[in-house]
Amino acid sequence: MTIQPKVKTGGPFTWTQIQQIVNANQLESFARSEEQYYKYQQFKSDLSSQGITLNDHVLKDELQWKQSDIRCQTSPATKSLPREYSISQPQDLIFYSDDDIKIIYNKFPYYFKDSVIHLCVWSKLIIPDDINSPEGDISPLTKRIIERYLKKTFIDKGVSKNNLVWFRNWTSLQSVRSVSHIHVLLHDVDDGLIQKLLGTSGNTLTLEDYKELLDE
């Protein structure tokens, strides 16, 4: 049986459709145009012919990081330890250290209208899966942490809440699994702000942010 490529037909996703998909957590609905799909597949094929994995390409060429930079929490959550984060271990706090984060364009975005900018925010510290999620989603606390980071990085700088959505693909949907990242989609946002943020960490969280988040 021939497997059909996952492509979006009938025009790009509108901003309203994007919001509906993310709000419903139906992330598997996102797809590239036919042209984007084949360009992506050709790109991966070219890398493979050179003996380069997609993970290695992202690390070396897009992020300028080393594999040894990537790390997990030293005390990951377990069923007997429901707390995922502790301010006594700041090295384990995602979106806390400027050196751990980098914002770049998604080189192969989904099929969106031209008014939509697709960024990826990459993290050297692995963003933990929710131990209670069979599909590899993230926990409500992790989502609140990420939303606080996005508020400081985008909303506080003038981006309307209605013009930003974000998601982290479930583990089963990720094409690059060994380097954690979230997708940030922006609609009708000033390009000057985007240019200032590219290649930076954005506005990372403080211990005060975490104290508030962990007390919620």
Q: What are the pLDDT digits (tens) for 173-210?
A: 555 667 899 999 999 999 999 999 999 999 999 999 99
Domain ranges of the chain: 15-215
Q: What integer is the mean pLDDT of 30-55? A: 93
Contact 205, 85 (CB under 8 A): no
At 25 the pLDDT is 87
Q: Which long-range contacts (CB under 8 A, 24 or more apart) does 15-21 make?
A: 15/113, 15/115, 15/116, 15/187, 18/112, 18/116, 18/165, 18/185, 18/187, 19/165
Threshold 0.85, pTM exceeds: yes
* Backbone φ and ψ of 7, nearest 5°: -130, 155
Give the Cα separation of 159 and 51 in Å (integer): 41
- Collapse the DSSP code of 53 into the 3-class scheme (helix H, G, I; strand E, B; otherwise coil) and give the result: coil
Q: What are the pLDDT digits (tens) for 102-140?
A: 999 999 899 999 999 999 999 999 998 888 887 778 899
Which of residues 11 and 174 earns the better pLDDT score? 11
Region of poorest pLDDT, from 25-39, 75-89, 104-118, 132-146: 75-89
